[in-house]
Structure 1
Amino acid sequence: MSRHGSETPVTPAPDRSGASGPEARAWLGGYADRLLAGVRPYASPSGSLITLPGTPGGYGTAVDGLEGFARTFLLAGFRLAGEDGADPTGLAERYAAGLAAGTDSAHPERWTRPEEHGQAKVEAASLALILDLTRPWIWDRLTPDVQERTVDYLASVVGDPDYPDNNWVWFRIVVETFLRSVGGPFSADDVVHDLAAHDRFRRPGGWFADGPERSFDHYAGWALHLYPALWARMSGAAEVAAAAGDDLAVRSASDREHLERYLEDALALVGSDGAPLIQGRSLTYRFAAAAPFWAGALAGVGRPGQLREAATRIVRHFADNDVPGPDGLLTLGWHHPWRPIAQRYSGPGSPYWASKGLLGLALPASHEVWTAAPEPLPADIGDVLTVAGAPGWVISTTRDDGIARVINHGTDHAIPGSDGGDSPLYARLAYSTATAPLLDAEAWTSPLDQSVVLLDDAGRATHRTGFEPLSTSGVGVALASAADAHWIEADLTAPDHGSGRAGESTSAGRITTVSLVRGPWEVRLVRVSESSADAVALRVGGWAAGPGLVSTLVPLLGDVAPVCGETTSDDTTLLAGPTTTPWSRYAPVPDGWTAVGIHLARTPAIGQPRLELTAGQAAVTWPDGEQTTATLP
């Protein structure tokens, strides 16, 4: 493995790379102000609810309004803190008025309380974080009765056993830390429990899983690394930690070390155009993907000029693609409104968790993240080829086209041995910063792009969730896994939280897949064993590529000559334009190894890899003459 390598005026974006800190800060500040101005027309008369246009979310309009307030409060708070309370647009006054009404149980615009709906627990954390961060300008100026009501509103989380075993544990930690700092109740037992959960999510190489499953996604950075960095700076955090039998200094040092290692992988996962990896749930949070880079700056790890460049370039990627739109609003979508991106919990206010990607504005202009000289990203310097062990990803980022790719043999948002359906957001064999997985209804039930599946005579495709990562060795970079492939009758009525669909499964056979990777190429070897009599064909799918991209799949090995084709569809991904996916179909199911070369770039491939199998070993000679070898499981 190796590493190489609204109506508010909009400040023009700085050049794509190499902007100075003051230039970047000025542009980001103008961008943030435009977002805050965009939501003002949608605030309720008291200001407590910001209910944005669009189809209500799965939790109802009342929760949507609370989300709109709390998530834009994050951004308002960052602006206030970074400008030392300077407030030309009256943010503190407006949000304080909303706080007074929202916490008043008798007010017609009161907030949904945490004990009434779980989503309010999420939003309570944003309230607590910003009330702490902006203490001199908001909390200290609230009247005693509003302070008391706010404490009462937040205190309902204390001792509540109904917190999911994932990143949500941090929502309670930060709320209870703020409560204790203002003389409110808190539970040391809660903090003990939640810190222990956080520690269970820790994985090697700087990674976190978002819970007990193999759930590796942007939550590792924009939640599980971010909140510890923010918590360490909260008033009274050390006392809260001590009450829970923890030493904040020791824990923070460990958190910083873990974050620093994570940032090495995270930086390689940013395309040269600033696009983040299109993988995992909650993608509508968009430039929240910049949050771990600001967390690094906050925690004092990493290279400040490079962290600033990564974070700014991610935000700029969306600005360059007309986000927000002319009305200044963030919608459910990516570059454009696209409702299928939503999970059940997503409402019109949800996208404003993107505010986390502007956290750097909370740091003063004198901070080193703004004064350091700019530094290039890994994608600017050269090709990156490495393995992130915890998520089971080969990371291959190429300088020529600026695309970051991952080949996935470790992530499925499930536990080993599960027999549920594949989530297109997690269980595909590859993801990139330039492509998006197919996300139409069929994609959830019949995997095509970046898949290896068995087909029955009705054309039903199998799923790989629950697969087993396998070890391999050799020269170069390769990963492998084996899946007990299964057909599934999916329960499409189940709530969508990003996981694959549950349902009744039927065994189809065992599929072993080995990926050898270099640059824009993957050589994918496949072997089927113990196949069901109902399995009539094997199909291998490549990248689902849109305009400006070339997705190639070429057969390299196999006794059965495949039928090769491609499937073109429209409006099936969060990216604009038609999408074409190449595939090869083998019938009957081959005995022994089959292999294809899979390529993604902005221009057609020049040459193709050559594959040789000898005595349980695969040897690939790449178009540039380099060779990768791997033992076959």
Structure 2
Amino acid sequence: MTSEASALTDSDGAATRARLAALADRMLAAVRPYASPGHGRITLPGPEGGYGRAVDGLEGFVRTFLLAGFRLAGERGADPAHLAEFYARGLATGVDGAAPDRWVRMSEHGQAKVEAASLALVLDMTRPWIWDRLDALTQERLVEYLAECVGDTTYPRNNWVWFRIVVQTFLRSVGGPWSADDVADDLASHDAWFHADGWYADGDERAFDHYVGWAMHLYPALWARMQGAADLAAPRRQKDHERLDRFLQDAVTLVGADGSPLLQGRSLVYRFAAAAPFWVGALDEVPSLSPGLLRTAGASVVEHFTARGVPGDDGLLTTGWHGVWRPLAQLYSGTGSPYWASKGLLGLALPADHPVWTAPAEPLPVQAGDVLRAVAAPGWVVSGTRSDGVVRVVNHGTDHARVGDRTGDSPLYARLGYSTATSPWLDAASWTAPADGSVTLVGTRGEHDGEPTHRTGMTLLGAEVVDGVGVAASRAVAHWLVPDAAQVHHGSGRHGVATDAGTLTVVSLVRGAWEVRLARVDALADGVAPTDVRLRVSGWPVVDGDGPEGDGDRLDSRVEPLTAADGTKTGTDERVDAVPLGTPGSVSRAPWAETDVLPGTWFAAAVGLGRDLPARPVLVLDGDAAVVTWPDGTTTRSALPA
């Protein structure tokens, strides 16, 4: 790990930029053989996406056009690979209604609304080299194609509002139609999803994930620089700038020492798109993070994947994480979808003399020392350990739902733990029966025998760091769920018929590689007796054998009871090919501890994840407080909720 971390914090910014540029050029060259005769679609190999081949081809063109645009902008138009010529031909074909490889229109499929925003961004960013050189008919047709967004009220109320803002701003800049009311409404929606400390939710649910960085902060910064945006963006520029700066102070702590981003949230097949907010920070010249640190963070995330064979030998991105792993996809994921990873190379739009490439490198927070941080909006405690480079997040406030909902737990959002070295179980069973990173009531008889509960809709009780220990807590109405037959697989939990089991309060005390997890059954639901359920605490799933990166650096995952209770026992569950880490068919295991239910009584377990885990912490319950002696000898006292 030391040598890799050193490479990722290359002090020579020019060399880093050269590597990333070579990666971009390789990716762009690799897709050309899959272009249609008129270049309007780039349909990459692999199973057809959920939206069909025409959308796959549109995404393949537009998302690689995004990367081509960054290369052209960063080289100030220098174009030895003739990118402008290649993509200009595709632009003309895409908007030619008679062409067999024309683009799907926004009125035909909603996914075109997503892709239209990238078209508009790049056409603006590369205006002198592409737009200004298009013939008048193609310009006219592009305006007509993009104009379908004006007045369209069917845009989902989440990050998609930015697609309409960006497109209409470009249209405004070229004399096309646009609506000031549309832009004002979309900006108001964006602002309504702001929570605290620079964090936005992706809509009105508690959807905190990578979209905060690669959408909710990326688009405001790029939009403000578009021609036609100056007077619209001016009143909010300082606010957007300050919120980006504050968000990045948290985001940079979420990158592992090996460059891995957090394996949490939907659209993980976009991989190193997670680097985008760091390049946005450099573009926006945020004050709190130096250009050298932003370069380290952005480049580390990208090179985490290149060091693990991404893209493949053929230069193509696949649907997966390190290798191909189709279960990581959502319904909307097609063969061109992974190329939203292009956002992670936004730094290449900054020329070689920009400070992000010339400033001295700085190490990531977890490379420089241990990290302990509370992030209030999503209800997270972040713990990174320098000794093994792992960053962990203990989650009490994110579930891609609303307070009081009775839906299923999404493994991507509602687990208690996420990290840069592990993945939650994502096999089919894990969407209906939480078995890792959870506190559940497990039925012992009748229709719910062996069935664990869900916690989505929980109430966040707080997340903070007090006297050197991270403290987070939540309360949930634990419920069993019978899923509906028809589901929309966009990353959130399953919908269905819920049956309440009882109310659970869970507290996490975090320091280093260990979490002391305390769980209390406050009350059982009507008709549920203590003997009808057992209380279970489950831990981190880790790939059997070598560490998930295949480097022989084994991760250790433990759940060890800390309180004496009747009927307590421990065990380990295992799954085959349930995570996108390791090799195909890898076995992963998650430990657990369970006990008899005693309403009103705390049950506690030490939940650990790390390499060379130290001895477990020691807990003493003293009235309404938990007194913990940690492996380093520090003793802390934390109040417990009534």
- TM-score range relative to shorter protein: over 0.9
Partner of 1:436: 423
Post-superposition offset of 1:629: 2.2
Of 157, 177, 193, the residue aligned with 1:185 is 177
Instruction: Establish whether residue 308 from structure 1 lines up as the match of residue 317 from structure 2.
Output: no
Q: Name the CA distance, whole Å, in 2 between partners of 1:606 and 1:274.
A: 24
Of 629, 632, 638, the residue aligned with 1:630 is 638
Q: Name the CA distance, whole Å, in 2 between partners of 1:331 and 1:84.
A: 30
Partner of 1:460: 451
Partner of 1:551: 557
The amino acid that maps onto 1:306 is: L
Post-superposition offset of 1:260: 0.7
The answer to whether the Cα contact below 8 Å between 1:542 and 1:582 also exists between their aligned partners in 2 is yes
Partner of 1:42: 34
Partner of 2:573: 567
Q: What pairs up with 1:388-403 in 2 under 5 angstroms? A: 388-403=375-390
Post-superposition offset of 1:560: 1.9
Q: Name the CA distance, whole Å, in 1 between partners of 2:47 and 2:636.
A: 50
Q: Name the CA distance, whole Å, in 2 between partners of 1:622 and 1:395.
A: 17
Q: Name the CA distance, whole Å, in 2 between partners of 1:13 and 1:123.
A: 35
Of 480, 487, 508, the residue aligned with 1:494 is 487
Partner of 1:427: 414
Q: Name the CA distance, whole Å, in 1 between partners of 2:127 and 2:165.
A: 18
The amino acid that maps onto 1:307 is: L
Post-superposition offset of 1:238: 1.6
Q: TM-score, normalised by structure 1?
A: 0.95
The answer to whether the Cα contact below 8 Å between 2:412 and 2:424 also exists between their aligned partners in 1 is yes
Structure 1: gaps (5+ residues): 1-11, 242-247
* Cα distance, 1:14–1:179 mapped onto 2, change above 3 Å: farther
* Cα distance, 1:202–1:368 mapped onto 2, change above 3 Å: same
Post-superposition offset of 1:249: 2.7
The answer to whether the Cα contact below 8 Å between 1:558 and 1:590 also exists between their aligned partners in 2 is no
RMSD: 1.4
Partner of 1:327: 314
Identity of aligned residues (%): 60
Q: What pairs up with 1:96-495 in 2 under 5 angstroms? A: 96-239=88-231, 241=232, 248-301=233-286, 302-456=289-443, 457=445, 458-471=449-462, 475=467, 476-495=469-488
The amino acid that maps onto 1:355 is: S
Post-superposition offset of 1:606: 2.5
Q: Name the CA distance, whole Å, in 1 between partners of 2:490 and 2:567.
A: 40
Q: Name the CA distance, whole Å, in 1 between partners of 2:358 and 2:9.
A: 16
Q: Name the CA distance, whole Å, in 2 between partners of 1:82 and 1:60.
A: 34
Post-superposition offset of 1:236: 1.4
SS of equivalent residue, structure 2 residue 353: coil
Q: Name the CA distance, whole Å, in 1 between partners of 2:337 and 2:134.
A: 27
The amino acid that maps onto 1:630 is: S
The amino acid that maps onto 2:493 is: G
Post-superposition offset of 1:408: 0.3
The amino acid that maps onto 2:278 is: F
* Cα distance, 1:400–1:492 mapped onto 2, change above 3 Å: farther
Partner of 1:6: none
Deviations 1:345-393, CA, capped at 9 Å, x for gaps: 1101000000000000011111111111111110111011010000000
SS of equivalent residue, structure 1 residue 580: strand
Q: Name the CA distance, whole Å, in 1 between partners of 2:269 and 2:100.
A: 30
The amino acid that maps onto 2:510 is: V
Structure 2: gaps (5+ residues): 548-553
Q: Name the CA distance, whole Å, in 2 between partners of 1:136 and 1:599.
A: 55
SS of equivalent residue, structure 1 residue 292: helix
The answer to whether the Cα contact below 8 Å between 2:10 and 2:16 also exists between their aligned partners in 1 is no
Of 50, 53, 56, the residue aligned with 1:58 is 50
Q: Name the CA distance, whole Å, in 1 between partners of 2:75 and 2:396.
A: 45
The answer to whether the Cα contact below 8 Å between 1:558 and 1:593 also exists between their aligned partners in 2 is no
The amino acid that maps onto 1:394 is: V
Post-superposition offset of 1:206: 1.0
SS of equivalent residue, structure 1 residue 530: strand
Q: Name the CA distance, whole Å, in 1 between partners of 2:598 and 2:159.
A: 42
Q: TM-score, normalised by structure 2?
A: 0.94
Post-superposition offset of 1:589: 5.5
Partner of 1:593: 602
SS of equivalent residue, structure 1 residue 482: strand
Q: Name the CA distance, whole Å, in 1 between partners of 2:627 and 2:387.
A: 25
The answer to whether the Cα contact below 8 Å between 2:381 and 2:463 also exists between their aligned partners in 1 is no
SS of equivalent residue, structure 2 residue 519: strand
Instruction: Establish whether residue 92 from structure 1 lines up as the match of residue 79 from structure 2.
Output: no
Of 609, 617, 620, the residue aligned with 1:609 is 617
Q: Name the CA distance, whole Å, in 2 between partners of 1:448 and 1:259.
A: 36
Of 515, 522, 542, the residue aligned with 1:522 is 515
Post-superposition offset of 1:107: 1.2
Deviations 1:230-283, CA, capped at 9 Å, x for gaps: 0111011024x1xxxxxx233111111111111111110000000000000000
Q: What pairs up with 1:521-540 in 2 under 5 angstroms? A: 521-532=514-525, 533=528, 535-540=532-537
Deviations 1:490-513, CA, capped at 9 Å, x for gaps: 125311010000000000001100
* Cα distance, 1:190–1:472 mapped onto 2, change above 3 Å: closer
The amino acid that maps onto 2:487 is: A
Q: Name the CA distance, whole Å, in 2 between partners of 1:436 and 1:174.
A: 34
Partner of 1:77: 69
Instruction: Establish whether residue 508 from structure 1 lines up as the match of residue 501 from structure 2.
Output: yes
The amino acid that maps onto 1:277 is: L
The amino acid that maps onto 2:274 is: A
The worse-fitting range, judged by mean Cα deviation, of 436-445 and 35-44 is 35-44
The answer to whether the Cα contact below 8 Å between 1:537 and 1:589 also exists between their aligned partners in 2 is no
Partner of 1:4: none
Post-superposition offset of 1:591: 5.2
Q: Name the CA distance, whole Å, in 1 between partners of 2:6 and 2:265.
A: 30
Q: Name the CA distance, whole Å, in 2 between partners of 1:128 and 1:441.
A: 38
The answer to whether the Cα contact below 8 Å between 1:610 and 1:620 also exists between their aligned partners in 2 is yes
Partner of 2:551: none
Q: Name the CA distance, whole Å, in 1 between partners of 2:315 and 2:6.
A: 20
Q: Name the CA distance, whole Å, in 2 between partners of 1:82 and 1:333.
A: 29
The amino acid that maps onto 1:539 is: R
The worse-fitting range, judged by mean Cα deviation, of 76-85 and 490-499 is 490-499
Post-superposition offset of 1:403: 0.7
SS of equivalent residue, structure 1 residue 203: strand
Q: Name the CA distance, whole Å, in 1 between partners of 2:317 and 2:95.
A: 26
The answer to whether the Cα contact below 8 Å between 2:523 and 2:600 also exists between their aligned partners in 1 is no
The answer to whether the Cα contact below 8 Å between 1:559 and 1:590 also exists between their aligned partners in 2 is no
Q: Name the CA distance, whole Å, in 2 between partners of 1:362 and 1:388.
A: 30
